[in-house]
Structure 1
């Protein structure tokens, strides 16, 4: 972007804009039938060849993305390899980050550069400026001079209305420890639509709610045949959310440039299949930035094996985050550190001699050792 001059100001500004998606050029040869009120009476059997993408066309989203991507790249932005929705502009010590979700865009960087880029974007597309970042895809952003708080309070308030639980009493935990939920727990629901709708809503809510990640993952495993016990567990989560509407994620501006992760696994907890669930949570300084809770694909023969697989997943996430930060021009002061509470797993990646009892986990073993 040659018309943008570097700025000495280090203040960062984040804004939210929406771009109107006008018809975009198609690379494929596509034909459509004639519109109902515009049929050629002399040639009613003819079809129309599209020069531009119509709204609702299967190829329209990709055509729009390619149009926007081409504009950003010709303006000096680079498309991130770690996240294709992120575009980065670098000029000296100044950066602009553009995060794209369809036609909603977050722009952050040095104020003077952000303003100049907004002007250039408005010259090319029909632009609606929505002001400083405050509400994006259902996530509320409250910003102060030292931190940013991300939460989904409005989304949580709407949930009881949909599920007819306006009088839900708050509880202290998102899930009870017993009984252990299985596929054949109690009586199957006659109509599972409401259960599936609630679990789908909770999956979106877990974007800013790490402490419900495990229970949402657990309840998602029974979507095909939920029972009344599963429905009670889902309602328990709604009771928990009733007392924690304003909870969310704090991102501190003065966080230290360090990354560390904690991983864990529950060995053979799923009593119907005896598979384990592994989880990790990643911190940037003191701020939570990534988390996951997933069922492992195969049965582990020991707790060390289950925990080691969790460490490998955490290490993979750390590598991706490091790659993303490197593209963003952020240099870490120290190497990322994965933590594990299993002594056997710790000894395994510290030991240079590979044990035959772990030979079926050879890829995870060498991946973690290389990372360490």
Structure 2
């Protein structure tokens, strides 16, 4: 893969072909090793997190198309090798959380995907992208569930910092882009 041509996006267009089982099977062990390495790399490269998350669902029976998409991620990494997380030495101690959901993303189960990231000052300290356990009937309900998940993570981080005797002067802040979900959260 040293002489591969770089590309500018971490995921090939469209995710529906990923769920097509008519493609010929791929080398399972090779695919699992590659996904394992990419999962490890997501610790410092959150820009590939969603793409690797999608591909990790197919480690049992990968197809040649899944292998091509994984190689596409490698091409993206080659194009932008210096991109990653930066942790500055000086930092304020305010927790900021950003929660979002992608409504009914999975074409098989119609489950939404919750994603969040939590910052301590300017440093990313926690992030997650996961399928929700239930099917939401509206995008607002999916967003509200993402807010609840993010607030639990912020609370857990606050407890850890308190146990470490770290004072948080400004209170944590939670951001959401859905007006109705924010309205529901304020009324509960």
Match of 1:312 in 2: 148
Structure 1 unaligned residues grouped into runs of 5+: 1-164, 353-372
2:157 is the counterpart of 1:321: yes
11, 26, 38: which one aligns with 1:175: 11
Q: Would the aligned equivalents of 2:26 and 2:67 in 1 still touch at CA under 8 Å?
A: no
Larger Rg: 1
Q: What's the CA shift for 1:184? A: 2.3
Provide closer, same or farther for how the CA distance between residues 349 and 227 of structure 1 changes in structure 2, counting only shifts above 3 A: same
Where do 4+ consecutive residues of structure 1 move more than 3 Å? none
Provide the C-alpha distance between the structure 1 equivalents of 2:103 and 2:72, rounded to a whole number of angstroms. 24
Q: How does 1:19-34 map to 2 (within 5 A)?
A: none
Provide closer, same or farther for how the CA distance between residues 232 and 179 of structure 1 changes in structure 2, counting only shifts above 3 A: same
Q: Would the aligned equivalents of 1:186 and 1:229 in 2 still touch at CA under 8 Å?
A: no
Larger strand percent: 1
Provide closer, same or farther for how the CA distance between residues 170 and 182 of structure 1 changes in structure 2, counting only shifts above 3 A: closer
Provide the C-alpha distance between the structure 1 equivalents of 2:172 and 2:17, rounded to a whole number of angstroms. 36
Q: What's the CA shift for 1:246? A: 2.7
Q: Would the aligned equivalents of 1:263 and 1:279 in 2 still touch at CA under 8 Å?
A: yes
The structure with higher relative contact order (CA 8 Å, sep 6+) is 2
Provide closer, same or farther for how the CA distance between residues 274 and 182 of structure 1 changes in structure 2, counting only shifts above 3 A: farther
Match of 2:36 in 1: 200
TM-score, with structure 1 as normaliser: 0.48
Provide the C-alpha distance between the structure 1 equivalents of 2:53 and 2:15, rounded to a whole number of angstroms. 17
Match of 1:221 in 2: 57
Provide the C-alpha distance between the structure 1 equivalents of 2:138 and 2:5, rounded to a whole number of angstroms. 40
Q: Would the aligned equivalents of 1:186 and 1:228 in 2 still touch at CA under 8 Å?
A: no
Provide the C-alpha distance between the structure 1 equivalents of 2:94 and 2:26, rounded to a whole number of angstroms. 50
2:171 is the counterpart of 1:335: yes
Structure 2 unaligned residues grouped into runs of 5+: none
Q: What's the CA shift for 1:185? A: 4.8
Give SS of 2:97's match.
strand
Q: Would the aligned equivalents of 1:182 and 1:272 in 2 still touch at CA under 8 Å?
A: no
Match of 1:184 in 2: 20
Q: CA RMSD in A?
A: 1.6
Match of 1:9 in 2: none
Q: How many correspondences in the alignment?
A: 188
Q: What's the CA shift for 1:186? A: 4.2
Provide the C-alpha distance between the structure 1 equivalents of 2:18 and 2:107, rounded to a whole number of angstroms. 7
Q: Deviations over 1:228-278 (max 9, x none)?
A: 222221111101111222332211222111110111111111111111111
